[in-house]
Amino acid sequence: GCAVSPKPPTQATNTALYARARAASRSWEAVPVAERAALVGRAADSLAARADDVAAVIVQENGKPLVEALAHDVLPSVQYLRWLEDHAADVLADRPTSLTWMPVRSAVVRRRAHGAVLVISPWNFPLAIPLAQVATALVAGNAVVLKPSELTPRAADVLISIFAHLPDGLLTVLHGDGAVGAALVEAAPDAVVFTGSLATGRRVMAAAALHPIPVSLELGAVDAMIVCDDADLELAAAAAAWGATCNTGQVCASVERILVQASVAD
């Protein structure tokens, strides 16, 4: 049910790609959410069975230690797929609500799929980040076009393989650099999910605003660790060192500054 583009796409190709994804999404959204979650959740067993091989790919491609590849990419991905299978139907269920300006009327909040969702993912967690975003969008009834980092393309092959049982057109992977990602945004998908730098995030938001389409951005920041005077200081010191150096610091929530109460600063 998945496809990989063999060459950089043209604008016409991107437009046709999104049309195909929207058609797939319409059929997929008609499937009850519990069934969608069960189908997407099946990928957890496939990923768990291949955990060592997948972790080896991440080590070779990304360079992180094997223990981090397993603990930060593979295991969380398996756990999240199983969480979706167990909880997605409840999260996406219709919710009754009230219309305060028309108290005699009843209303329901009903969550609908966007259609064709573009996911642009980074290299620092080349499996866990795109998998969570792709799986969430799929369970919600969308079709996904994934543009993984050009630095870690093989990790995207894992997604293609573990979701291969899904209906045709629901997941397409397009490899390439930032120019490919920019062209995909300009071709106007129905929503964009981007994880990366602040500078690129601004460009993604500006391009999406021309259409306009919804955008979800996860960008860099300057993250603070706060240590209070009642903290276990040995644990806090170890946590600070780990938080700053894990994944060589290439983490959206890595420890980049430490705020310590003066009474325990020394």
Question: Would residue 85 show up in a list of annotated catalytic residues for this protein?
Answer: no
Q: How many residues does the chain have?
A: 266
Asked if 134 and 47 touch (Cβ cutoff 8 Å), the reply is no
Question: Would residue 252 show up in a list of annotated catalytic residues for this protein?
Answer: yes
Asked if 155 and 57 touch (Cβ cutoff 8 Å), the reply is yes
- Name the active-site residue from 68, 85, 186, 218: 218
Give me the residues paired with residue 145 across strands. 118, 172
For the chain, state the CA radius of gyration: 21
Beta strands in the chain (DSSP E): 2-4, 95-98, 106-109, 116-120, 143-147, 171-173, 191-195, 215-218, 224-227, 257-260
- Name the active-site residue from 29, 186, 252, 256: 252
The helix/strand count (H/E) of the chain reads as 11, 10
Sign of dihedral through CA atoms 208, 210, 214, 220? Answer: positive
* CA angle (197, 202, 207) in 5-degree steps: 125
| Residues involved in catalysis | 218, 252
